[in-house]
Amino acid sequence: MDGFICVLKPPGMTSNNAVYDVRRVFGVKKVGHLGTLDPGAAGVLPVSIGRATRLFDYLVEKEKTYVCEILFGTGTDTLDVFGKVMQRDPERIVTEQELLAALPSFTGEIWQTAPAYSALNVDGVKMYKLARAGEEVPERRRLISVPGIELIRQMGENRFLLRVTCSKGTYIRKLCEDIGTELGTCACMSFLLRTGTGMFRSNRGFTIRELEEMKREGALDKALISCEEALSGYGALHLDSDRRAPAMNGLETDVRKEDGIYRIYSDGFLGLGEVRDRRARLLVHLY
């Protein structure tokens, strides 16, 4: 069995736990996820099965969408409500108008400093392990893209629900802290739901319990997203029938296509390929 499962991960479950459960439910060994979702967060976690694991590099970079709650007046070491409270500012009450005025400063391409409690590596050691051990954590800054931040509604005093569209590698909890700093107070993230990553959306998702029920009913195939469908964001390139065997053996084919990555077809779907200098070759065989 090859393809993807859009797992709806609950808060408290690690991404590795979700992979283990999918492996158990489907009875396959080759399983992986397309990017970690924090244990405290919920929502869409795409999990690849079988040959679909070869597509990690071509799907992990896709745009993400989140719904989060920002809590002003409280700062923690982990930048979310699961951490140790380091700062309080009960006197500062942020208004909806102030927040709306600040949000444009956090859209577009911006530099972001990774939280100390993150899974980034420093000389082979994850940053959160250094932080937990009380060791100095070096600063890691990187350029991210935030196409949009939308205020959904105010949930209470100093609590606001936001919808964020962003690139891979964006830390929503750090975004919340930085918005607080911009407004002259402390802030942390009190809730996070990932609603989509690339073509994987919450309306195609299943909880582990739902997958277990589908297994009992013999309907697990209904949860599977094919490799071809997962790659639907890439254009299609059709080769003549006589080029099927050469393509499958790694040989190039002259084509009239612009350089780029394509879904390759020849008497059916073959996999993902690349066109360079008007010559096409398979990169990932999925036939």
Catalytic residues: 38
Give the torsion through C-alpha atoms of 17, 172, 134, 121, to 10 deg.
70
Rounded Cα gap, residues 187 and 127, in angstroms: 21
User: What is d(CA 66, CA 162) in angstroms, rounded to the nearest whole number?
Assistant: 8
**Is 52 exposed, middle or buried (CB count within 10 Å of its CB: 0-12, 13-18, 19+)?**
buried
Coil, strand or helix at 141: strand
Max CA pair span of the chain? 74
Task: Collect all residues with Cβ–Cβ distance below 8 Å to 241 and sequence separation of at least 6.
Answer: 266, 267
